[in-house]
Amino acid sequence: MPATMPVGGRRSLSETWEGAGVDHAEAVASNRVNWDERAEIHVRSQMYDVEGFLADPTRVSDVVRNDLAVLAPHLPDSGVRDHSLLHLQCHIGIDTVSWARLGAVDVHGLDFSPNSLRHARRIAAADGHHITWVEGDARRASSLIDRRFDIVVTSAGTIVWLPDLGEWAQSIHDLLEPGGVFAIRDDHPVLGAMAFEPWTITDDYLGGGGTRTYDDSGTYTDGPEAVEQVINHEWRHDLGEVVGSLLDAGLAIEAVAELPYMDWPAFAELTPCPEGWTLPPTSPRIPLNFAVVARRPPA
């Protein structure tokens, strides 16, 4: 679930750094209301195209197609087929159902937004897939799910909504079977430092700077619909923090990549490409996504 940046430029918003003064529980609760509202907009959006997705049982979301390209070299030739899979921060479940369509079994999707999960249940039922939906904070997923998985995945605008990554990484470790693999592919943190408006640095790249609070009524999908809960709270996590948190949790890093494409048109300079959106050849080459693949060491 990408950050709420309108296509073509910086948000029109008031923005503050609150540092340690923001109560994380209150900030997450505020975000939850925002995402409950977004879910209503997103299920109607052309970007998610729920009706088209359900009408074509062979379709896999572009997000999952890109995730699988990152994950595939670390899987057997059969890919995710017949492997148990947990999707963290699953939103309305289009990507989670896509993993099930690719043959993953015992699929679970976790999200903190009850309204997102309400739509996810409906979409999965209409598609004929039994998926277990879990409501909760991704940082504490291991306390909410009493089992382990062969594969854990998360991607496309997720960790910016988490205040810290230590518990998140430890939870991923604990939810993986020994030898199991985790993959994250997300917006590159340098884009946040540029406020998704290349090419001037206007914000922190490094993590640890506190809570970033701003007002924005838009969402990242097409159309003019707006949310009423306009207050958003985000937290910066640089690439070193992401990798370091996974290492500290006891996972072995198998791959790190900085990628020239992303899933959504975050700013006007981007042009369509097979993976989604990329910069034109005349632009400076900067990363738009990053990806990390890690594995829980065998017992």
- From first CA to last CA, the distance across the chain in angstroms is 34
188 touches 181 (CB < 8 A): no
Q: What is the pLDDT of residues 71-93, one digit of tens each?
A: 999 999 999 999 999 999 999 99
**Paired strand residues for 277:** 262, 272
202 touches 193 (CB < 8 A): yes
Q: What is the pLDDT of residues 5-64, one digit of tens each?
A: 433 333 433 455 555 567 889 999 988 988 899 899 889 988 899 999 999 999 999 999
Beta-sheet pairing, 261-262 with 276-278:
antiparallel
Sign, CA torsion 41/4/89/69: positive
Residue 69 has pLDDT above 80, yes or no: yes
56 touches 230 (CB < 8 A): no
CA distance readout (Å), 115 to 32, 60, 93, 146, 270: 9, 23, 11, 23, 31
Domains of the chain: 15-295 (3.40.50.150)
Return the closest-CA partner of residue 118 out of 92, 86, 79, 139. Answer: 92
pTM confidence score = 0.86
Helix, strand, coil percentages in the chain from 3-state DSSP, rounded to 5? 30, 25, 45
